[in-house]
Each structure stands twice: as C-alpha cells, then as structure tokens.
C-alpha cells in the first residue's frame, strides 16, 4: 500500500503523525478531507523537493500517487543524487480530478457525516478481519520497506540536519534477526546499519555443532520487528568458529618479523599495516586485530599494526660523545650514519674517536632514517676544536735540545708551530717521529731556529733527532763519523694529545 508507505515516510521524517484525533474514525475522516502540514514545517532543514515527494505519495486520488513501488524508489534514488531536482509532479489528469473532488466535497457542508462515518467503521472492521490472512506477506514487505526508508531517512538527516544547537528527532529502524545466517551473507546489511549510526561488534565463539561463520545469537535480540534508534547502539553478533580455531597470541611490543612467525605458527594469515608512532619504536608491533587472547578461525587474517617511528625526529647533539655512543644515539632516534670524516685526515681507532662536528646540526626536525654526517677526531682534536688558540705572527724559540720529541711538542705546540721538519742525526736510528709510540724515545739533538731567536710559528721548525745513545754520542763526540742527517716532516696537527711523560734531561 503506497499510501501507507507515504504516511510512514512522513512520520519517520518528522517524528509526528500527519493526522491525529480522539478516535480511529476521526483520524480516518482527516485522511479523507485534510492535507497535513509539509514535513519541512517541523524539520526546516528538509528540502522542498522532499515535501513534494511525500505529498504525492499521500494524495487522496490513487491516480495522483506513485503507481508502483519501483516508481517511488526511483524518485527517491534520483533525489539522493540531486536533492535540488524537480520531484513529486502529479499528472495533469489526476490533478484535475483532485481539484474537482475537493470542490465537491467542500460544497457538501450541509450534508450530515453520519452515514459516511458508519461506512468508514464498516470498512475498518472488514480490514481487521482480513488483516490476519496477509500477515506473513505484510511483515516481509514492511520490514524491507522500513529498512529502505530508515536508511534513506538517516541519509537525509545527515545531509540536511539542523545545527547541533537545534533539537532533532532520532530515527527508529527495525532491527533484523541475524541468528542462523552466514556472516558473509549479511555483510551488506551490516554496512547499512553502520551507515545509520549503529556500532557492529563481531565476537567469535567455539561451537561443536554449528558450522563456522554462522551467527549463533545477537545482542540486542530481535524477532525482526524490534524498533530501535541506531545512533550509538552496539549490535553484538556472536559467530561460530566451529572446531578449527585458535587464540590470537600476544605479539605487542615484539618486532613485526617475530610477530609474523608466531601468528603463522598458530595457523593465521598476516596483513601488515604500518602506523606512525612517536611512542613505539620503529618496526615494533603496536596491536593486532583481532586482539590478543581472542578466538579466530585458523586460516583467517590477523591485521598486524607496527610502528614506522615518529613522523619527525629531533636531531640529537652528538658533539663530544665517544664514537660508539654516538652511533647508539642515532639508532635510538631512527637516524642513520651517513658517513664520517677524520678531523686530521689520519685513521683513528673507534675506541679513541670523539664526535667533533655533525650535519645536520642538533635540534633540527627531520624525517626518520635521515643521514647524519659526523667529523671525528681524538680527545685532543676535540679540545683544540672547542678551545681554538690564536697563532701569533712571531714568537721566541724555546730550548728543546735534550728533550724527547713528545716533550718538545708539548713546549712548542702552544706557540702555534704549524710544522715539525724532522732530520735524523744517525741514519741507522730505527725510530720514526710519525709513530706515536716512538715519540717518547726520540731525543732532540739540534734545533732551528736556535733558542731565543724570534721566528714565525706558521713557518714551522726543523729538529734533528736521534736515540738516547745518539744524544750521548753528540754530547760526547768520538772519532766515529756519522752519516749526514735525513729530513722528514711532521705537522702539529698529526700529533696525539700530550701526556705526563717527563723529559729525560
């Protein structure tokens, strides 16, 4: 009955009856003689086009209404696509009949309504007696129609509802009975209920008698006629797992590689979903769906959410840190070592390295896995970098003859000597001034400039060296002839940090 469907549609949109009275007969008279207010009278946000659709569906003249349910649904579908279109147009012939009928009815003002009321009462009694014959068909049709109209109404309310400050009427829908149905077969219906504002919660249970994926029961229960307001209502469906199922293990806090192995061992398939997280380390599992401890069919998919680290990381301050500690700090902050440069150009053992400079600088925000370049050196290199000294243009040369090369460097480095040109006093001497271990065994025999002479440190100095025996032979010469000296060059930047080794005077 499309007229009844139109009346129901009116009630769902407005939350009010189009006609009300003290008795069913009085209401029936209003159905025959009166036109209800437009739905937008009660809900101002409803568009005029919807008013016209409703009015056509409840016309007094059957020829003026929609002739088939398909025509009614097509018009509603068109309205949902284009709410500003023209709808509810009454055919000309039906409109003329309606005008004539209304005029004739209004002309009978003097006629008593007693006979008409009796006729209406007889009609109602006949309808009551025949109603039971069509109950099964009527319930099926009404449930389908109500569900369609409920979803349409929700769509309309969401698109044309007034501001939150205004009061709006909640829409009721009929909750289907899903018990005994396959969860896959009702997926579309569940989607429609979710779009109407209902929360769907699916829980799985073991069952010795019911096949997997069949709904065992639901909460709230429904015989197919329960009316509820779907907004923020949770429908819980308990679905059979059958006998072949397993408990989802707890893999939170583990690497996604380990979690993958554990889940597959339990018989599950795994879907990986990355998420940005500042609180959880990179590649660590945040959660799973279904969650830990829940039952799920073997062979079903468990979605594994793992961290990709924060969206941006703050570059830490590496300057002054030992090399290995700096590498650990980069890893903790999801950063990568992009390369390293020696401050002096010499190879330095990892245990003796310190970070002198870095790029990017500390404090900047960069994406994870950004490459950080560092400059490394010894502890002395770090000290010199942090405490630069001004090299004087001229200085007075000190006495370094008789000192070890290591002690001589300690005396001359503060003057800003840029280069040490080293000459062997005896070619047979195996000691090498470039070898840090030999510097405490090498003795200065001669020097240029001489002590007390002004010189430019930037030009360097020339030192003649030899072993302790060579120094003794130089101080106490014999008739033995020595080979001419051999010169090597050592810059001040190639030296190791000073030690407390005393000089052998």
Non-local CB neighbours of 212 within 8 Å, separated by 6+ positions: 240, 241, 242, 244, 245, 297
CATH topology of 313-386 equal to that of 395-475?
yes
pLDDT band, very low/low/confident/very high, at 302 (cuts 50, 70, 90):
very high
Cβ atoms of 343 and 376 within 8 Å: the answer is yes
Q: What is the CATH number of domain 2-94?
A: 1.10.510.10
Q: Give the fold, CATH level 3, of 173-240.
A: Trypsin Inhibitor V; Chain A (3.30.10)
Quick one: which H or E segment has residue 151? helix 135-160
The CB density around residue 48, as the number of other CB atoms within 10 Å, is: 14
Rg (CA), the chain: 48
With a cut of 50, say whether residue 168 has pLDDT above it: no
| Count of Cβ atoms closer than 10 Å to residue 34 Cβ | 10
pLDDT band at 457 (very low <50, low <70, confident <90, very high): very high
pLDDT of residue 450: 96
Structural domain spans, the chain: 2-94, 173-240, 245-307, 313-386, 395-475
Asked whether the CA dihedral 87, 91, 97, 99 is positive or negative, the reply is: positive
- Beta-bridged to residue 372, according to DSSP, are 337
416-445, pLDDT tens digit by residue?
A: 898 999 999 988 888 999 999 999 999 999
CB atoms within 10 A of CB 419: 17
- Where residue 145 falls among pLDDT bands split at 50, 70, 90? low
* 388 Cβ contact list (under 8 Å, min separation 6): none
Distance CA 5, CA 193 (A): 21
Q: What is the band of 181 on the pLDDT scale with cuts at 50, 70, 90?
A: very high
pLDDT digits (tens, 9 = 90+) for 347-362: 999 999 999 999 999 9
Q: Which 8-state DSSP code applies to residue 322?
A: B
Residue carrying structure tokens 């680290």:
309
Q: How far apart are CA 73 and CA 95, in angstroms?
A: 22
Evaluate if residue 104 carries a pLDDT over 90: no
Report the range out of 35-39, 106-110, 276-280 with the highest average pLDDT.
Answer: 35-39
Averaged pLDDT score across all residues of the chain? 82
In whole angstroms, give the CA distance from residue 133 to residue 139.
Answer: 12
Contact 234, 195 (CB under 8 A): no
Whole-prediction pTM = 0.29
pLDDT of residue 158: 64
* Fold entry, domain 313-386: Trypsin Inhibitor V; Chain A (3.30.10)
For residue range 303-358, what is the model confidence (pLDDT) as tens digits? 999 998 888 889 999 999 999 999 999 998 889 999 999 998 889 999 999 999 99
161 contacts: CB under 8 Å, gap ≥ 6: 45, 168
Name the one residue in this structure whose structure tokens are 């192995």: 261
- b/e per residue, 368-407, with b = 16+ CB within 10 A? bebebebbbbbebbbebbeeeeeeeeebebbebbbbbbbb
Architecture of domain 395-475: 2-Layer Sandwich (3.30)
User: Domain 245-307 belongs to what topology?
Assistant: Trypsin Inhibitor V; Chain A (3.30.10)
Confidence of residue 378 (pLDDT cuts 50, 70, 90): very high
């Amino acid at each position: 009955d499309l007229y009844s469907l139109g009346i129901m549609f009116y009630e769902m949109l407005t939350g009010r009856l189009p006609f009300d009275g003290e008795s069913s007969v009085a209401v029936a008279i209003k159905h025959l003689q009166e036109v209800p207010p437009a739905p937008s009278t009660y809900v101002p946000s409803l568009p005029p086009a919807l008013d016209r659709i409703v009015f056509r569906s409840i016309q007094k003249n059957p020829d003026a209404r929609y002739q088939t349910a398909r025509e009614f649904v097509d018009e509603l579908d068109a309205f949902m696509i284009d709410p500003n279109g023209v709808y509810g147009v009454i055919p000309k012939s039906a409109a003329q009949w309606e005008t004539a009928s209304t005029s004739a009815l209004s002309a009978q003002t003097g006629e008593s309504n007693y006979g008409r009321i009796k006729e209406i009462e007889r009609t109602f009694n006949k309808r009551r007696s025949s109603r039971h014959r069509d109950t099964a068909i009527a319930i099926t049709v009404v449930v389908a129609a109500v569900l369609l109209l409920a979803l349409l109404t929700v769509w309309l309310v969401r698109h044309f509802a007034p501001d939150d400050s205004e009061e709006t009427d909640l829409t009721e829908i009929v909750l289907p009975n899903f018990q005994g149905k396959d969860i896959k077969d009702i997926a579309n219906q569940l989607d429609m209920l979710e779009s109407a504002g209902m929360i769907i919660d699916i829980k799985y249970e073991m069952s010795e008698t019911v096949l997997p994926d069949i709904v065992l029961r639901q909460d709230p229960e429904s015989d197919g006629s329960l009316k509820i307001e779907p907004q923020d209502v949770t429908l819980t469906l308990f679905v059979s797992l059958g006998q072949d199922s397993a408990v989802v293990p707890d893999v939170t806090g583990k690497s996604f590689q380990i979690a993958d192995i554990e889940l597959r061992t339990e018989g599950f398939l795994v879907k990986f979903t990355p998420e940005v997280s500042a609180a959880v380390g990179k590649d660590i599992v945040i959660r799973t769906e279904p969650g830990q401890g829940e039952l799920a069919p073997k062979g079903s998919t468990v979605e594994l959410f793992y961290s990709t680290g924060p969206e941006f990381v703050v570059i830490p301050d590496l300057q002054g840190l030992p090399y290995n500690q700096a590498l650990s700090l980069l890893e903790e902050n999801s950063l990568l070592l992009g390369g390293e440069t020696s401050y002096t150009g010499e190879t330095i053992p990892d245990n003796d390295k310190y970070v002198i400079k870095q790029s990017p600088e500390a404090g900047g925000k960069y994406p994870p896995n950004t490459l950080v370049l560092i400059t490394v050196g010894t502890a002395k290199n770090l000290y010199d970098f942090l405490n630069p000294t001004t090299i004087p243009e001229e200085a007075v040369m000190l006495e370094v003859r008789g000192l070890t090369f290591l002690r001589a460097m300690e005396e001359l480095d503060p003057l800003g000597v840029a280069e040490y040109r080293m000459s062997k006093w005896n070619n047979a001497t195996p000691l090498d001034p470039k070898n840090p271990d030999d510097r405490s065994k090498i003795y200065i025999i001669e020097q240029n400039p001489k002590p007390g002479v002004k010189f430019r440190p930037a030009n360097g100095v020339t030192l003649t060296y030899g072993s302790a025996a060579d120094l003794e032979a130089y101080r106490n010469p014999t008739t033995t002839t020595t080979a001419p000296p051999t010169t090597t060059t050592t810059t001040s930047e190639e030296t190791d940090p000073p030690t407390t080794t005393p000089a052998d005077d």
